[in-house]
Structure 1
Amino acid sequence: METKQRYNPYTGEPVIAGVSVSVPAAAALGLEPPRFCEECGRRMIVQVSPDGWWAKCSRHGTIDSTSLDHR
């Protein structure tokens, strides 16, 4: 079974098993939206509003701050 490559949503770099991934402090607090798609590493369109944010990948659709609350 093939494992899908994952990407850092804040840098767009490939995630490598066993290697620590840096997360900005604001992102850890839920204040910074992801800028890159975790599935393909492409730069996303991001919109920030007073009550949250949404980010859209041209291939994988939209995620928003409310959808991450359930993870």
Structure 2
Amino acid sequence: MSAVVEPPADADLAVERPFCAWCGAARTVGDHAGCDRRLATVDPPRHCPLCARRMVVQVDPVGWTARCSRHGESAGANGFS
């Protein structure tokens, strides 16, 4: 398993993570406010934010894991208490 590397808090998401983790589109194209809301509340990411590849996502009662074939695994508990 790979460690998750988070960008600095003041980082520009379009530079650090060029693709939307929900819809897979480039962050510089269109409005991703709805995608960001979904990711922040209930849904796990579906696309790798670094390469836009579709990820293998496993959701369980305590959180989720998502694995990109190129960039490894990330995990979270968004939307779960």
- After the TM superposition, list the runs of 4 or more consecutive aligned residues in structure 1 that deviate by more than 6 angstroms: none
Q: What is the CA deviation profile of residues 18-44 of structure 1, one whole-angstrom value per residue up to 9, with x for unaligned ones?
A: x53132654231x21000000000000
Q: Specify the alignment match of 2:10 in structure 1.
A: none
The one-letter code matched in structure 2 to 1:23 is C
The one-letter code matched in structure 1 to 2:52 is G
- The secondary structure found in structure 1 opposite 2:39 is helix
**Aligned residues between the structures:** 63
Give the alignment's TM-score, normalised by structure 1. 0.73
Q: Specify the alignment match of 1:45 in structure 2.
A: 56
Unaligned 5+ residue runs, structure 1? none
Unaligned 5+ residue runs, structure 2? 1-14
The one-letter code matched in structure 1 to 2:51 is C
Task: Give the CA deviation at 1:62.
Answer: 0.2
Q: Specify which structure has the bigger relative contact order, considering alpha-carbon pairs within 8 angstroms and separated by 6 or more residues.
A: 2
Q: Work out the percentage of aligned pairs sharing the same amino acid.
A: 35
Contact kept in structure 2, 1:46 and 1:55, CA below 8 Å: yes
Give the alignment's TM-score, normalised by structure 2. 0.65
